[in-house]
Structure 1
Amino acid sequence: MTRRRRQAGGGPETDRSSQVYARLRDLIVRLRLAPGARITETDAAGRLGVSRTPVRAALQRLTQEGYVVVSDSGRRRRPVVAPLTREDATELLHIVAEVEGLAARYAASLNPKLRAQLGAELRRVNEELRRAAQARRPDANQVFELDHMFHRRLVEAAAGSRLLSLHEAIKPQAERYGRVYAAALTDEISTSVEEHAQLIQAVEAGDPDGAQRAVLTNWRNAAARLSHVIDAMGERGSW
């Protein structure tokens, strides 16, 4: 009975698998594991100091979530880091746009006091983002985190549990593209800041249509700009 309870609640092996998953995912989204890079259970286990079992479970989860794909080249099927492609970027960012657009619509429908509070907070983060992008040596990680904070705060302000779940499911999958954008398109962040400002104005004015439209424009423009970068650097480029 004790063993069954322990297995049902998740034991050390489950915890280890979750830790390995988190570590590999972090390496992938931060582009330290390059698109197209091979991942072998033996090598990953050795580097992370674990057995192959949690690595195998972590790779299965990463494959289900789209971070890893199975290559059929050669005699054996091998897991590799999913390539960055313009099609994938466009699809992911357009999905994020729809989810966040609905959240923006809800945010613009809040009562005036809450809209004013949210607008002030978004304006503060947006100003920090502007300053970070205009620094003499912009920190791409800081730029990404501030942009992420802006959008996350918008969603959290008004989205219900189902919409939050959708956002939490899809947004992490777009993180690699967000980091590429922040690193390769720092000069374009000023455009994003202006688009954010239009969103803030619509939220404060209680304009649901305008708020939703501003979010859709922001993400669709980002997808278009990012597609140009991927075309220039190659879908498996040296990120």
Structure 2
Amino acid sequence: MNTPRPSAQDVYDRLRELILSFELYPGSRVTESALAERFGVSRTPVREALQRLASEGHVTVLPKQGVLIRQLDAAELAQHYRVRVVLELAVLADVCANASDADLRALAADWDPQTQPGRSDDFAVMAARDETFHRRLAELGGNRVMAQLLEQVGHHIRAVRRLDFTLNDRVERTYEEHHAIAQCLLARDLRGARRLLRRHIENSRRVASAVSLEQLRRVRAAALGEPG
């Protein structure tokens, strides 16, 4: 029985993971043909996957030169974080107006620092959980367009968001901060929730601004089991 070849979606998923885990290093160059050989597919699904990744800002397609894995630009990241703050603060008003007490209690319980459900030592898993919290806020607010915009911003900061959870205390602090935000929302304390959320995003932004290629190199080496 023949094993089906990976689809364009499969190639996209695997390529994005290689980029986010820094196995494809920022600033490195790859080619469609090399990727096609790596995944055992034709160049067509690779090209489709790269087009999606380019639209999300993960790669730059250079005609006749290959594909460049995007460098992390500190100034650009800061701009994405500024947009994120504006959008998420607006989301909180919708959450206070529309979310049920039951949904907010469930959200708070999911981030209870005493029990820490779903906690993992895998920084990629925790980054995904963090994204889920913020996406859930947008869903509870009921504004689908806002949720889509936040998803787009999330694509641009996902790599450094993962690095946030390589620091020693960030998992514990994230549980505490998420839980406190949910509790404020349950009390319909919009001002308090906005203050806490702004501080929470600012903590994440500071990590992003401190990211260096040397830090990325160490994270990549750890992921691959290489000497630091």
User: Residue 171 of structure 1: CA displacement?
Assistant: 1.7
What amino acid does structure 2 have at the position aligned with 1:145?
A: A
* The one of 81, 86, 95 aligned to 1:93: 81
Say which SS state the counterpart of residue 108 (structure 1) adopts: helix
**Gap change, CA 1:80 and 1:232, over 3 Å in 2:** closer
SS where residue 32 of structure 1 aligns?
A: coil
**What is residue 125 of structure 2 aligned with on the other side?**
142
1:164 aligned residue? 147
Cα distance in 2 for residues equivalent to 1:162 and 1:29: 25
1:109 to 66, 87, 97: 97
CA contact (8 A) 1:105 1:209 kept: no
Q: 1:182 aligns with which of 165, 174, 177?
A: 165
Contact in 1 for aligned 2:12/2:46 (Cα 8 Å)? yes
Residues 109 and 208 in structure 1, CA contact (< 8 A), matched pair in contact too: no
Match of 1:84 in 2: 72
- Are residues 129 and 22 of structure 1, via their aligned partners in 2, closer, same or farther at CA, if it must alter by over 3 Å? farther
Q: 2:49 aligned with 1:58, yes or no? A: yes
- After TM superposition, the structure 1 = structure 2 runs for residues 11-90 of structure 1, keeping only pairs within 5 Å, are 16-70=7-61, 77-90=65-78
For 1:118, the equivalent position in structure 2 comes to 103
Q: Does 1:195 align with 2:189?
A: no
Q: Is the 8 A contact 2:8 2:48 kept in 1?
A: yes
| Aligned counterparts of 1:129 and 1:232: Cα–Cα separation in 2 | 35
Inter-CA distance 139–154: structure 2 relative to 1 (3 Å threshold): same
Distance in 1 of aligned mates of 2:209 and 2:125:
22
TM-score by length of 1: 0.76
Seen in structure 2, the aligned counterparts of structure 1 residues 34 and 127 have a Cα distance that, compared at 3 Å, is farther
Task: Classify 1:34/1:123 alpha carbon distance in 2 versus 1 (closer, same or farther; 3 Å).
Answer: same
- Match of residue 233 from structure 1: 214
Q: Please tell me whether residue 155 in structure 1 is matched to residue 138 in structure 2.
A: yes
* CA distance in structure 1 between the aligned counterparts of 2:71 and 2:113, rounded to whole angstroms: 32
TM-score, normalised relative to structure 2: 0.79
The structure whose residues are more often helix, as a share, is 1
**Unaligned ranges ≥5, structure 2:** 1-5, 220-228
* Distance change in 2, residues 1:201/1:132 (3 Å): closer
Q: What SS is found at the alignment partner of 1:79?
A: strand
Opposite residue 161 of structure 1, the aligned amino acid is R
Indicate the SS of the match to 2:192: helix
Could you report, residue by residue, the CA deviation over 1:46-82 in whole angstroms, capped at 9, with x for unpaired residues?
011111222223223322221002579xxx6331211
Where do 1:185-224 residues align within 5 Å? 185-224=167-206
Retained in 2: the 8 A contact 1:122–1:200? yes
Q: Count residues in correspondence.
A: 216
Q: Relative CO higher for 1 or 2, CA cutoff 8 Å, sep ≥ 6?
A: 1
Whether the 8 Å CA contact 2:94–2:143 is kept in 1: the answer is: no
Deviations 1:101-143 (A, max 9, x none): 22222112236xx1x22332222221269747998xx332332
Is the Cα contact below 8 Å between 1:38 and 1:81 reproduced in 2? yes
Q: 1:165 Cα shift?
A: 1.8
Shift of 1:146: 2.6
